Amino acid sequence: MNATIKLTAFLVEIANFILFMSLTFKETFSRDFEFNEFLKQCYQLGYKSLPLISITGVIMGLVLTIQSRPILDDFGAVSLLPSMVAISLIREIGPVITALICAGKIGSGLGAELGSMKVSEQIDAMEVSSTNPMRFLVVPRVLAATLMLPILVLYADAWGILGSWAGVNIKGDVSFVLFVSHAFHTFGPIDFFPAFIKTIFFGGVIGIVGCYKGYNAGRGTESVGAAANSAVVVASLLVIIVDVIAVQITDMLI
Amino acid sequence: MEQERVIDIQHLQKGFFNQEVLVDVSLQLFKGENLVVLGKSGSGKSVLIKCIVRLLMPDKGIITVLGEDVNAMNRQDFAELRKKIGFLFQSGALYDSMNVKQNLEFPLQRIKKGMTQKAMDEKIAEVLENVGLSDALLKMPSHLSGGMKKRISLARTLVVDPMIMLYDEPTTGLDPVTSDEISLLINEVQKKYKTSSIIITHDIECARATADRLIMLHSGRVYKEGGIEAFECSDDLLINSFFKNGLI
């Protein structure tokens, strides 16, 4: 009996999420697009994430280089280190780690912000003043997350390459120009575009889950924390699932 | 001559999770009057006015606002009707991320489209003066006291010249002096903006100060309706217990 109730609640939640997504999609193409709010959200979600993404990017490149070096050394293939790190970073590690970091920062932020607006009746106040909250709150945030995440991933990749160069120079002396030319020697469009396209979906998933959880938070203050927490967990899980699907599709197409 | 009905509610029912909050409520708001709705916590007072603006959908019953059946209207038509209704939330519900000026501009930009910035600034200055907070223009909501938040929230609803005002517990959480000021402000709004208002309150002093007519809700129904004298002179134990304590 308990399992049936849980299953029903789960299916209702999925149905509500799909409905929320379709409403967001519909409102995206409606008139009166809130362009100023969109720009503000791009600043909030994108620009304000740069310091965190910079640090994460450098550490990704640095750690990957330090960890990979001994194995490549065993095979006498240290010269392949820059291109291996670059391809790993740009194809997989950069997009996924950056998306997971953003699921934490952006997803929780959206969940908490909209959740607290719900609790303090600000969303109701918008509705009462003839403003569609989906159009004003949800659409700009989802679009900003969708647009900003690919940019943040490219930015993280760049810092990752820099971190990798620093990692190589711990036990060597390689100029940055030489490192970059080695890194991108075997690099082709197939390494870049599938990874770039999936980051658009990562951004969309993080934006929509954060907004959905916040918008549908309960009425108590406790529900704000629950919405933020749930946004991070679900967005992270969906990022991984989208990644698996994207890798399978890329694999089939190549 | 019969008075003009601004809001007409017939046999309203609303429940949550098998619990009936409003069982059968019928009431009318007449043009230019302040109607105070009293009742215990959980008696469905806030639910009643949220049904009027469709923040909640009733299970049964008919709500007519300015001659229009609100439940039969599509979203777009109802959005037009909503522009004539002001709603003062219990918490104030000011937008945290905006300062006072932006909070007041927000409904103006959306409801009075095409208004020039100069006209908006003048209107904002006028309503802020009316609520006695002209100097709060650039303050953030977090820097305002509870009473100031209520006043700014009232200014935000007045800025679009509503015909109907719905007040959800306007004096809750305020000290007696500030409560009296808010009650006076409600009367001033009625005179100056020629509004018809429903005031949901627990506060008997607020009810005394503002009511042209009162309705008491109990067990999801209208328990008593009449003027303030009829309530104060009542022999009914339930009504007496409320009015003797001064607070429901």
Q: How far is B247 from chain A (nearest CA, A)?
A: 25
Provide the mean pLDDT of chain A: 93
CA–CA separation, B176 and B203 (whole Å): 10
Could you give the residue ranges of the DSSP H alpha helices within B65-116?
75-82, 100-111
Report chain B's C-alpha Rg in angstroms.
Answer: 18
Pairing of strands B85-88, B221-226: unpaired
The alpha carbon of residue A132 is apart from the nearest alpha carbon of chain B, in Å, by: 9
> A125, B160: Cβ pair inside 8 Å?
no
Q: What percent of chain B has pLDDT over 90?
A: 57
Contacts of A9 in chain B (CB under 8 A): none
For the segment B130-139, the average pLDDT, to the nearest whole number, is: 90
- pLDDT tens for A131-171 read 899 999 999 999 999 999 999 999 999 999 999 999 999 98
Count the neighbouring beta carbons within 10 Å of the beta carbon of residue B242.
22
Query: What ipTM does this complex have?
Result: 0.88
Asked if A129 and B106 come within 8 Å (Cβ–Cβ), the reply is yes
pLDDT band at B247 (very low <50, low <70, confident <90, very high): very low
Asked whether B68 and B85 are in contact (CB, 8 A), the reply is no
List C-alpha distances in Å: A205 to A201, A236, B236: 6, 9, 59
The pLDDT score that the predictor gives to residue A189 is 86
φ/ψ of B239, rounded to 5, equals -65, -40
Backbone angles phi, psi at B222, to 5 degrees: -75, 120
What's the mean pLDDT in B108-137?
Answer: 90
Q: Look at B124 and B232; give whichever has higher pLDDT.
A: B124
What is the spatial distance between Cα A230 and Cα A237, in angstroms, rounded to a whole number?
11
- Judge whether A123 and A133 are in contact, CB under 8 Å: yes
- The rounded mean pLDDT for chain B is 90
Please name the residues in contact with B51: beta carbons below 8 A apart, sequence gap of 6 or more.
Answer: B12, B14, B22, B57, B58, B63
Is A205 exposed, middle or buried (CB count within 10 Å of its CB: 0-12, 13-18, 19+)? Answer: buried
**Sheet with B68-69, edge to edge strand ranges:** B68-69, B60-65, B5-16, B19-30, B221-226, B213-218, B34-39, B196-200, B164-168, B85-88
Decide: A139 and A24 in contact? Cβ < 8 Å: yes
Residue A137's alpha-carbon distances to A109, A159, A181, A197, B134, in angstroms, are 13, 32, 44, 25, 29
Is A121–B93 a contact, with Cβ atoms under 8 angstroms apart?
Answer: yes
State residue B74 phi and psi, 5-degree precision. Answer: -80, 170
Q: Residue A242 and residue A209: Cα distance in Å, rounded? A: 13
- Report, as an integer, the average pLDDT of B120-148: 91
Confidence of residue B240 (pLDDT cuts 50, 70, 90): confident
At what angle are helices B146-158 and B117-130 packed, to 10 degrees? 130
Choice between B32 and A187, residue whose per-residue pLDDT is larger: B32
Contact (CB<8Å) A131/B80: no
From the list B134, B135, B107, B130, the residue with the least C-alpha distance to B120 is B107
Chain B residues with CB-CB distance to A under 8 A? 50, 53, 55, 79-80, 82-83, 85, 87, 89-91, 93-96, 106-107, 110-111, 156, 160
Q: For A42-67, write each residue's pLDDT tens digit.
A: 999 999 999 999 999 999 999 999 99
Please give the distance of CA A226 from its chain centroid, rounded to a whole number: 20
pLDDT per residue over B81-120, tens digit each? Answer: 999 999 999 888 999 999 999 999 999 988 888 889 999 9
Do B107 and A116 make contact, defined as CB atoms within 8 angstroms?
Answer: no
Question: Looking at CA atoms only, how far is residue A180 from chain B in angstroms?
Answer: 44
Using DSSP's 3-state secondary structure scheme, residue B11 falls into strand
CA distance B98 to chain A (A): 12
- Phi and psi for B223 in degrees, rounded to 5? -90, -40
The CA-based angle B172-B177-B181, given to 5 degrees, is: 80
List of chain B residues whose C-beta atoms are within 8 Å of the C-beta of residue A122:
93-96
CB < 8 Å to B107, chain A = 129-131
Confidence of residue A229 (pLDDT cuts 50, 70, 90): very high
pLDDT at B10 over 60: yes
pTM of the model: 0.88
Inter-residue contact A147 to A154 (CB < 8 Å): no
List of chain A residues whose C-beta atoms are within 8 Å of the C-beta of residue B79: 130, 132
Q: A228: closest CA among A117, A120, A130, A136?
A: A117
pLDDT of residue B29: 95
Residue B111 token pair:
């409801």
Encoding tokens for residue A48? 């304000």
